[in-house]
Amino acid sequence: MDSTEEIKRTLLDYYEAFHKKEWDKFAGYLTDNFRYFTDKTTILNKEKFVDFLSKDEWQSNDYKVYDIDIHVPNGCDTAWGTYKTSFTGIFREKEMTVTAIETSVFVKENGGWKIGHHHTSNKA
């Protein structure tokens, strides 16, 4: 499997762990110096990001990750990707669909790819 396919697999596995609320597995896809950013200038490190998500009331019914575009410069252990997400579920007893345009920076560590930087824009 080439790096682009490895990164896509990592990304899809990361979202599957999120969907299933498997927080230890989810955290394993993030580098130790991971940072999360939003349009509202929220910035969270790995620990705070995982803690925030694990306490969220969102109940996911379904999701999709699509329009994935991965860029891996030749010989680099760093790559980036853009993609869209869509989640349907229930938040505080209200059915919702949340969509986003997202960007992640991937870093190759110990033979596998992890997410070191993630930006979410819900203005999609």
How do the domains of the chain map onto residue ranges? 3-121
d(CA 4, CA 98): 26
Q: Is residue 124 pLDDT above 70, yes or no? A: no
Entry pTM: 0.91
d(CA 95, CA 92): 8
d(CA 11, CA 9): 5
More confident residue, 122 or 81: 81
* Model confidence pLDDT, tens digit, residues 3-20: 999 999 999 999 999 999
* Model confidence pLDDT, tens digit, residues 86-121: 999 998 899 999 999 999 999 999 889 999 999 999
What 3-state DSSP class applies to 104?
strand
- For the domain made up of 3-121, the CATH class stated in words is alpha beta
